[in-house]
A and B are shown apart, each in its own frame.
Chain A
Amino acid sequence: MADPPTSIRRVTVRVNGREHSREVDVRLTLVDFLREALALTGTHVGCEHGVCGACTILLNGEAVRSCLMFAVQADGAEVTTVEALGTPERLHPLQEAFRDHHGLQCGFCTPGFLMTAVAFLRETPQPTDEEIREVLSGNLCRCTGYQGIVEAVRDAAERLRTQGPGLESTE
Chain B
Amino acid sequence: MKPAPFQYAAPETVDEAVMLLSEYGRDGKILAGGQSLVPLLAMRLARPSVLIDLNRIAELDYIRQTDGEVAIGAMTRQRTIERSGEVREHLPLWWEAVRYVGHPQIRNRGTVGGSLAHADPSAELPAAAAATGATLVTRSTRGERTVSAEGFFLSYLATALEPDELLVEVRIPAHARAGTAFLEVARRHGDYALAGVAAMVTMRDGRCEAVRLAFTGVGPVPVRVAEAEEPLIGRRPEESVYAEIARIVAGRLDPDSDIHASAAYRKDVAGVLTARALALAVSRAQEPMADSRSSMVDHG
Chain A residues in the interface with B (C-beta under 8 A):
1-7, 9, 25-27, 29, 32, 48-50, 53, 56, 59, 62-65, 67-70, 72-73, 116, 119-120, 133-135, 137-138
Contacts and interface: CB of A to CB of B under 8 A. Distances in A.
B109 A69 contact: yes
Contacts of B5: 7, 25, 27
Contacts of A134: 189
Interface string B1-36: 111111111111100110110001000000000110
Nearest to A116: B105
A11 to B, nearest CB: 11
Interface stretch (B37-45, B127-135, B227-235, B288-296): B37-45
Q: Is the interface of A mostly helix, strand, loop or mixed?
A: mixed
A50 B3 contact: no
Contacts of B3: 27, 29
Contact of A6 (B8, B52, B104): B8
6 contacts: A5-B24, A5-B51, A29-B3, A49-B1, A59-B108, A72-B8
Nearest to A1: B16
Contacts of A26: 6-8, 51
Contacts of A50: 35, 38-39, 106
Contacts of B109: 59, 64-65, 68-69
A5 B8 CA distance: 5
A49 B188 CA distance: 18
B190 interface: yes
Q: Of B8, B105, B188, which is in contact with the most chain A CB atoms at under 10 Å from its CB? A: B105
Interface of B: 1-13, 16-17, 19-20, 24, 34-35, 38-39, 41-43, 50-53, 55, 79, 102-106, 108-109, 188-190
Given A48-B1, A65-B105, A137 B188 contact: yes
A63 B104 contact: yes
Contacts of A67: 38, 42
Contact of A2 (B19, B41, B190): B19
A5 B7 contact: yes
B55 A73 contact: yes
A12 B103 CA distance: 28
A5 B178 CA distance: 47
B128 to A, nearest CB: 20
B79 A65 contact: no
Contacts of B11: 2
B168 to A, nearest CB: 16
A2 B105 contact: no
Contact of B34 (A5, A7, A68, A120): A68
| A-B interface, 7 closest residue pairs, ranked by CB to CB distance from nearest | A138-B103, A5-B7, A2-B16, A26-B8, A49-B39, A2-B11, A5-B9
B260 to A, nearest CB: 14
B9 A3 contact: yes
